[in-house]
A and B are shown apart, each in its own frame.
Chain A
Amino acid sequence: MEKKQSLTRDREKALKGFAMSMDGRLLAHLNSCVHCGLCAESCHYYLSTGEEKYMPARKVDQLARIYRRYHTVAGKIFPRWIGASDFNDQSIQEMVDVLFGGCTMCGRCSLHCSIGVDIPFLVRTARSMLVELGRVSPGLQSTVDAAVQTGNNMAIPREELVDTLQWLEEDLRMEVNDEKASIPMDVPHCRLLYTLNPREPKFFPLSISAMAKIFYAADESWTLSTHCYDVTNYAYYSGDDHTAEELTQRLFDEMIKLNAQELVLAECGHGSRAIRWEGPRWLKKKFPFPVISVIELIAGYIHSGRIAVDPSKNTTPVTLHDPCNLVRAGGVIEEQRYVLKKVVSDFREMTPNRENNYCCGGGGGQLSMGEYRERRVAAGKIKADQIKKTGAAIVATPCHNCIDQLMELNKEYSLGVEIKTVGELVADALIL
């Protein structure tokens, strides 16, 4: 029996947390990889750099080797034979480097894995262990901390948000020439509570105007909350379940407080996934109200004739980037296509697309981890090439995280395109 290296207290705690999280799903995925290596070309990191450490199978092994060492008989007796390893400085450093710095948790590899190993699930489980060790990338951790301490990940003071919304409301009134047009704030008993990505009030207020215009056209009963509106949940990315739960609970409580009927998630891939698909697990309860993506809402408006649109108002060629968390891990796949085909006259698909689409490189919390910027931009080359091939002049994407990354790729790879939300294109096509 090869003796295990002694563990510090925090490492023991991390391993204990890992053992506690070992449900049937985790067991199955930890024991299934056959090291065929065929998943390599599914990962944009590997494709763009050719570095073996980025192969999805290597990422699986970062966690599986620890599992084998501490949870299998063979791993305890002859670890080298089956590629098991101690939870030591070296393995932890490699985990940080590759699982935080070399994976966007996009899940493209899992979709194509020979077996069906849920690789981002394993990556997130490993990140949770690193949370226990305080090894979350500082940039990502500060984004999480800002959300916890200030109520939004960009630490925007409430007064600043209210100011922004007020001038946007004035602009909207002028644009639609109607004094009654509004951006409602903290109004109880509305049909919809609409969330925001804090990047919107901070950097892209026009996407809020666009949505306000759509709600106006649909004559919707809606409100924003100025207290709790942040659709993002970076604790999902950091692997910190406890904080992820707290952030979800706040939004849940706001829904109850404002007594809205439906929670509408703004154009944000990971936020939509976190609230809709992970949130109920964190809170251990069903949400007593429907939770939908704003893209599903807009598609419904157009389908039912509640808003009228004219595609000839958007004649520039448009392509669509599918955010991984909204599409591959969220099932909102056809709605954005339906919407875009109704609001633009020249829509072009990227290849591959839908659930097979490549990640832009901005997911997994990468945008807040400055130390890995170079890798992130390099990994985005696959997306840049996809965009170029379409010949489109506008890239639409229903995710503000993706927008940030695409804007950087636009500069870095001289794409010469405009990046827009789906809502902005819909607003431009509205017939009022």
Chain B
Amino acid sequence: MAESMNAARIVFLSGLGVFLLSAVYQWIRVFINANTEDFTQPKGTVLPAFAYALTGAMMPHKKETAFLHLPTYWMGIAYHLGSFVALAWLPVHFFEWRIPDSIMIVCAAVLIPSVFSGLIILIKRISVSSLRHLSSPDDYFSNALVTLFQAISSMALLGIIPVFLVLSIGGLLLMYIPVGKLRHVIFFLIARFFLSWFYGRRGVWPPKRRILWKKNNH
């Protein structure tokens, strides 16, 4: 058991290393090439737009991709929440910290709808023609890997399977993130920031619904 655990720790550390190296490399690349010199005469500001991009603009009543697909939206939320919970447990497993049973049960309970969401999203990808045509093997694999990781995490929390399995799968998942579409983890905030730059500077985000009168306009 101790040997398996040590091997799992090595897999986890390797995965974490690959993920961090890749993320830092990509962030530096973006930062160095950020090209943020903007010569336009602004009609709005970027930071409130960024705040809006991460709050109001993500709300289901504002986002068409959400309100037209509410079940998928909520499954997506559950799925991402589950991923964060499962990832947060990895250091706990690694150091074998003792955590109260009640917390473990709550986390396992959070992971159950998340796993089901992952499975339904996967089935949807396989069965809906437009999604199938959009997908490469990576899309199915990424979905399956994350769902498997969540399922194993919840089972480990309930003491059904040994912890070294979670650490190993978690390590493999971290290692795989930079390869395929899971890399959106690295780029999500940056993409949203650049979109906020675009809409913020032009006064589109956050929506104002009023005119800021300037003297020189009349």
Contacts and interface: CB of A to CB of B under 8 A. Distances in A.
B204 A328 contact: yes
B184 to A, nearest CB: 5
Contact of A80 (B69, B136, B204, B218): B136
B30 A38 contact: no
Interface residues of B, number: 66
A300 B214 contact: yes
Interface in B180-213: 180-181, 183-184, 186-188, 190-199, 202-204, 207-211, 213
A118 B194 contact: yes
A58 B97 CA distance: 46
A291 B72 contact: no
A297 B65 contact: no
B102 interface: no
B130 A110 contact: no
Contact of B181 (A34, A37, A304): A34
Contacts of B64: 41-42, 112, 356
A301 interface: yes
Interface stretch (B8-16, B36-44, B88-96, B103-111): B36-44
Interface stretch (A89-97, A281-289, A390-398): A281-289
A226 interface: no
A114 B65 contact: yes
Interface string A6-40: 00000000000000001111011101111111111
Interface stretch (A137-145, A332-340, A366-374, A417-425): A332-340
Contact of A114 (B34, B76, B183, B209): B76
Identify the interface centre among B69, B181, B190, B195: most chain A CB within 10 Å of its CB: B195
A262 interface: yes
Interface string A295-312: 011011101101000000
Contact of A27 (B30, B66, B214): B30
B80 to A, nearest CB: 11
Nearest to A297: B217
Contacts, number: 187
Contacts of B197: 25
Nearest to A307: B218
Contacts of A70: none
Contacts of B135: 35, 83
Interface residues of A, number: 72
B98 interface: no
Contacts of B190: 24, 28
A299 B217 contact: yes
A277 B130 CA distance: 35
A42 B69 CA distance: 12
Interface of B: 26, 29-35, 38-41, 43-44, 53, 63-66, 68-69, 72, 76, 128-131, 133-139, 141, 179-181, 183-184, 186-188, 190-199, 202-204, 207-211, 213-214, 216-218
12 contacts: A31-B184, A34-B181, A36-B72, A52-B129, A61-B134, A82-B137, A82-B180, A116-B191, A286-B39, A300-B214, A331-B204, A333-B203
In the A-B complex, list the 8 residue pairs whose CB atoms are closest, starting with the nearest: A83-B136, A300-B218, A300-B217, A280-B39, A331-B203, A38-B65, A331-B202, A24-B30
